[in-house]
């Protein structure tokens, strides 16, 4: 435990990675490519039989999906849990997760998009670091930078920083705080629930895919009215893929956060874009818009 934050153990070659499917079913061919890549890198992979279940647009019933994830956290020989895919469904199992079990067995947990719901709940209920990063059904076609960044973060015991080469400072400054966030629409639907994390003093990261600008406006405005952004130390915009003009989105965000005296960096290569750099949620970070840097004084693993 570090500063009252649970820190998972380092992942090493030969360790076992368990696969979970807390949301939607996945493409089997893409999934197998991702599993092959993990094995070729020297990891053992544990695939629970139940992750191939289908229940309409979900990868099994709510109880089945939650049970698989709870069991993966219970297994002592599994050092990391990687989600197969996002889609929809994570929100439906939050009340079924065993947070005491998760707290007693902290381990690397990776996912993004709809998995944002679980990343948020884990921090809120367990104060445990988790990882916003690529999933099993995407790894086979992921860029080399995406893959390298993921294993650099979850297997390194050193502090680190992430330089956003294509980053754009929407509001200059430097801010520090615990990094939290994820997919905008998922965070918006967590608003008002017991699983939305306390973001006061934190740096918030948001990304999105396939939402029109007016919908992004509506979601951010809703969260703003609900007080979700009060006390933020900084804001980072990841990929906004197939959401219309990035320039228009940046202008929208600048306008909506005009009264907030915080640094804002756009164009961070994390989310649904070509590159999806893994970032740790729950770890204290410093955002420097001038240097286009997100830096961490401590490693994300122990």
The catalytically annotated residue of 113, 176, 185, 233 is 113
Alpha-carbon distances, residue 236 vs 69, 164, 262 (angstroms): 29, 11, 11
Which helix or strand (DSSP H or E) is residue 223 part of? helix 213-225
Expressed in angstroms, the distance from the first to the final Cα of the chain is 9
Which residues pair with residue 43 across a beta bridge? none
Residue 113 bears catalytic tag = yes
DSSP SS3 for 243: coil
Pairwise CA distance, residues 177 & 190, whole Å: 21
The set of residues, in sequence order, having a beta carbon less than 8 Å from that of 82 and lying 6+ positions away, is 17, 18, 19, 20, 38, 110, 111, 135, 136
Marked catalytic residue, from 207, 208, 211, 275 = 207
Task: Determine which one of 120, 130, 185, 272 is catalytic.
Answer: 272
Question: Could you tell me if 93 and 69 are in contact, meaning their C-beta atoms sit under 8 angstroms apart?
Answer: yes
Residue 95 designated active-site: no
Cβ–Cβ under 8 Å, residues 267 and 300: no
Please give the positions annotated as active site: 113, 207, 272
């Amino acid at each position: 435990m570090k500063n009252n934050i649970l820190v998972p153990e380092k992942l090493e070659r030969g360790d076992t990675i368990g696969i979970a499917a807390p949301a939607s079913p996945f493409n089997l061919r893409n999934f197998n490519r991702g599993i092959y890549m993990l094995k070729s890198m020297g990891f053992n992979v544990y695939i629970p039989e139940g992750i191939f279940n289908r229940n309409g647009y979900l990868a099994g019933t709510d109880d089945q999906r939650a049970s698989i994830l709870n069991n993966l956290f219970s297994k002592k020989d599994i050092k990391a849990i990687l989600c197969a895919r996002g889609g929809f469904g994570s929100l439906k199992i939050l009340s079924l997760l065993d947070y005491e079990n998760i707290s007693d067995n902290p381990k690397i947990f990776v996912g993004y998009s709809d998995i944002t719901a679980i990343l948020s709940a884990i921090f809120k209920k367990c104060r445990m670091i988790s990882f916003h990063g690529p999933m099993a059904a995407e790894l086979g076609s992921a860029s080399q930078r995406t893959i390298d960044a993921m294993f650099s973060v979850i297997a390194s015991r050193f502090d680190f920083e992430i330089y956003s080469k294509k980053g754009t400072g929407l509001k200059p400054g430097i801010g520090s705080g615990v990094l939290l966030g994820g997919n905008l629409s998922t965070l918006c639907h967590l608003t008002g629930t017991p699983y939305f994390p306390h973001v006061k003093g934190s740096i918030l990261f948001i990304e999105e895919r396939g939402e029109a600008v007016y919908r992004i406006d509506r979601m951010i405005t809703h969260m703003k009215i609900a007080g979700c952004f009060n006390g933020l130390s900084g804001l980072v915009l990841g990929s906004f893929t197939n959401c219309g003009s990035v320039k228009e989105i940046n202008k929208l965000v600048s306008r909506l956060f005009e009264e907030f005296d915080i640094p804002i960096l756009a164009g961070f290569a994390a989310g649904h874009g070509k590159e999806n750099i893994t970032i740790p949620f729950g770890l204290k970070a410093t955002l420097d818009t001038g240097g286009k840097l997100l830096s961490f004084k401590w490693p994300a693993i122990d």
